[in-house]
Structure formats: structure tokens, C-alpha cells
């Protein structure tokens, strides 16, 4: 019973490129959450999705960032035209209802 799978674990992008982060939730979980964490900081909520629906995107920047959770396949967090300030660890979590979240190992994005 695999947990939350995120890939890639590490991603290096040059300024201006696009970054695509993938997340497959735990089997049976229909709620997916994306968080961003800067070094020495807490987790900042970005977006909450259920299958084919964005439920809450209040924490996601309006420009350059988008997220989806299609009917088939993983959830994708997409960052267009990356800048140095996007460098961070991006964690995906899944849950079923109001139970505890299961987090993936994260994607460490470095923008050079």
C-alpha cells in the first residue's frame, strides 16, 4: 500500500523555464493538498483539490502557478517562468475526509 508518491524528488530549473511537480495520492484518498516550505519556515498552504475540481486555491499565487487533479493520473502543480524565489520544497498531502494527512516526500525545486 504505497503512500503518497511525489516526483521528481529534486528538480533544477533555469529562470524562465517551467516546473511540473507530480503527486499520486494514497489509494482511496480523494483529497489532495499542495504546500510550499521555504528553509527554516513552516508549511504554507497553496491549493486543495478533489478529482477534477479545485476546491480552494486561496494560497496559490494568481500568476504563473496552476494545479490540476484529473480524473485519471496524478495531481500536477505547474509553475511557469520560474524565478529564484520559487526555490522551495513542495509537499503534496492526501486525506480521506477529515482524517490526518499523509504527506509525500516532497519535491525540492532549485531555480538557478
What is the C-alpha separation between 80 and 10, in angstroms, rounded? 17
The CB-of-15 to another protein minimum distance in angstroms stands at 25
Answer for which of 43, 64, 68, 110 binds another protein (CB under 8 A) is 43
The answer to whether residue 98 forms part of the interface with another protein (CB under 8 A) is yes
Q: Which stretch binds another protein (CB under 8 A): 12-20, 36-44, 60-68, 74-82?
A: 36-44
What is the C-alpha separation between 6 and 75, in angstroms, rounded? 9
Beta strands in 8-87 (DSSP E): 10-13, 19-24, 31-37, 43-50, 53-56, 65-68, 75-79
Q: Which residues bind another protein (CB under 8 A)?
A: 33, 35, 41-45, 48, 56, 91, 93, 98-106
Amino acid at each position: 500500500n504505497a503512500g503518497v508518491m511525489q516526483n521528481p524528488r529534486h528538480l533544477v530549473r533555469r529562470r524562465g523555464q517551467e516546473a511540473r511537480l507530480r503527486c499520486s495520492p494514497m489509494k482511496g484518498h480523494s483529497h489532495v493538498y499542495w504546500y510550499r516550505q521555504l528553509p527554516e519556515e513552516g508549511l504554507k498552504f497553496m491549493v486543495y483539490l478533489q478529482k477534477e475540481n479545485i476546491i480552494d486555491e486561496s494560497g496559490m499565487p494568481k500568476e504563473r502557478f496552476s494545479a490540476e487533479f484529473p480524473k485519471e493520473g496524478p495531481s500536477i502543480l505547474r509553475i511557469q517562468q520560474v524565478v529564484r524565489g520559487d526555490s522551495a520544497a513542495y509537499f503534496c498531502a492526501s486525506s480521506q475526509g477529515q482524517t490526518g494527512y499523509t504527506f509525500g516526500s516532497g519535491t525540492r525545486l532549485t531555480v538557478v
